[in-house]
Structure 1
Amino acid sequence: MADPSTVRSRLRATFAWHGDRTDEHQYADVTGWWRDPALLRDLGPALARLFADGRPTVVLGLESRGCLLGPLVALSLGVGFVEVRKNPRQAGDSDAWLRRTTPPDYRDRHLTLGFPRRLLSPADTVLVVDDWIDTGGQALGVHRLARDAGATWLGVATVVDALAGNEVRRRLDVRSLLHVRDL
């Protein structure tokens, strides 16, 4: 297992911004993170270490990149994983889902998030995993879902924290490997 400073260095080395910083179409390219097998192997344990003081019973990951990183963290912690889908549809009337609409996200969208109700219970302690947090809108939606299930909230482990202020960071206990200014 790599030490945290090595993981952070490799994250920065395999990351790229595309477009000019003044360009409204500028975007963060994290695809290099998935291509480096050593980094991919170390991402789960590195994110899990952010909450070494907690005892999650389940990891929740937001579609899409949270569903890549979440299982890596869950394996590292020896717990299960729940996929949080965007705009989910249930298969039938007997397929009960928890759903919540988010505050505006980084694209100013209000998304509906959800997962099958049977996957989370009041006995669970929830750790949410994602690659990037910008406004916190989606994480706030997952927080509400966890509360609806009666589960205990642990926090959000993310690769990059791009939150502008501290309110959401403190409210959700957001911990990251990098801050956007590191990139």
Structure 2
Amino acid sequence: MTNTSIKSLIRTIPDYPKKGIMFRDITTLFADAEGLREVIDSIAGEFQDKNIDVIAGIEARGFIIGPAVALALGVGFVPIRKRGKLPAETIEVEYELEYGSDVIEMHIDAIKPGQRVLVMDDLIATGGTALAALDLIEKAGGETIGCAFIIDLPDIGGAQRIRDRGVDVFHLVEFEGD
């Protein structure tokens, strides 16, 4: 399977969640066993020689691909969640959204100082949540060695914002526009 095939398995839903947005639905990709295996194998293959200690997956779709890639690489998985979803003591980072702000958090002991972390989510658009995840990992003393996404929306610029921060970005497919 090629990246073109992976792209063909992603359904586009116009005007969702609001008019003018082209929503990239990966549930159709996840429903295809061969496509899902290609996603996991491609991401794991890209990072197999990077000495990753742990994968941090961003809520919610990062929880689907992150553990599978972690298993393929033989490393652990850490969830990065919205405020109030984790049961033990947490650290948090507030970040700006288009209209307001939000907070993400992780358990205070999830990432040990010096651990090398791969951040994962399904899609990179503005990069706000991913950049907040980088801040959270740094706050914990970890080192983000890369970010991996299935989809990049390059016209929105989030991947470049992460690169400007000195972190490598890997993606499987791109969709132009927003």
- Pick the TM interval, shorter chain: 0.7 to 0.9
Determine the structure 2 residue equivalent to 1:30: 26
Q: RMSD in angstroms over aligned alpha carbons?
A: 2.5
Determine the structure 1 residue equivalent to 2:173: 178
Q: Please, which of 158, 164, 169 is the counterpart of residue 163 of structure 2?
A: 169
Deviation string 1:64-105 (CA, Å, 9 cap, x unpaired) is 1000010011011110001111123554xxx3211111232x
Determine the structure 1 residue equivalent to 2:3: 8
4+ runs of 1 displaced by more than 6 Å? none
Determine the structure 2 residue equivalent to 1:122: 113
Matched residue type, 1:133: I
CA distance in 1, matches of 2:61, 2:86: 22
Change in 2 beyond 3 A, CA 1:44/1:31: same
Higher strand share: 2
Q: Please, which of 38, 41, 44 is the counterpart of residue 40 of structure 2?
A: 44
* Contact in 2 for aligned 1:97/1:116 (Cα 8 Å): yes
Partner-residue secondary structure (3-state), 1:56: coil
Answer with 32-41 or 135-144: which moved more: 32-41
Deviation string 1:118-168 (CA, Å, 9 cap, x unpaired) is 111113110001110101100111101111111111110101111433233
Structure 2 residues without counterparts, runs of 5 or longer: none
Q: TM-score, normalised by structure 2?
A: 0.86
Partner-residue secondary structure (3-state), 2:109: helix
Q: Please, which of 81, 84, 100 is the counterpart of residue 80 of structure 2?
A: 84
CA distance in 1, matches of 2:51, 2:162: 22
How far is the alpha carbon of 1:43 from its aligned partner?
Answer: 1.7
Q: Please, which of 137, 140, 153 is the counterpart of residue 146 of structure 1?
A: 137
* Contact in 2 for aligned 1:43/1:72 (Cα 8 Å): no
CA distance in 2, matches of 1:72, 1:137: 24
Matched residue type, 2:93: R
Determine the structure 2 residue equivalent to 1:159: 150
Matched residue type, 2:10: F
Taking only the aligned residue pairs, the percentage that are identical comes to 30
Determine the structure 1 residue equivalent to 2:104: 113
Determine the structure 2 residue equivalent to 1:55: 51
Q: TM-score, normalised by structure 1?
A: 0.84
Answer with 140-149 or 172-181: which moved more: 172-181
Matched residue type, 1:152: E
* Contact in 2 for aligned 1:44/1:75 (Cα 8 Å): no
Determine whether 1:17 maps to 2:8.
Answer: no
Structure 1 residues without counterparts, runs of 5 or longer: 1-5
Change in 2 beyond 3 A, CA 1:13/1:151: same
CA distance in 2, matches of 1:120, 1:89: 17
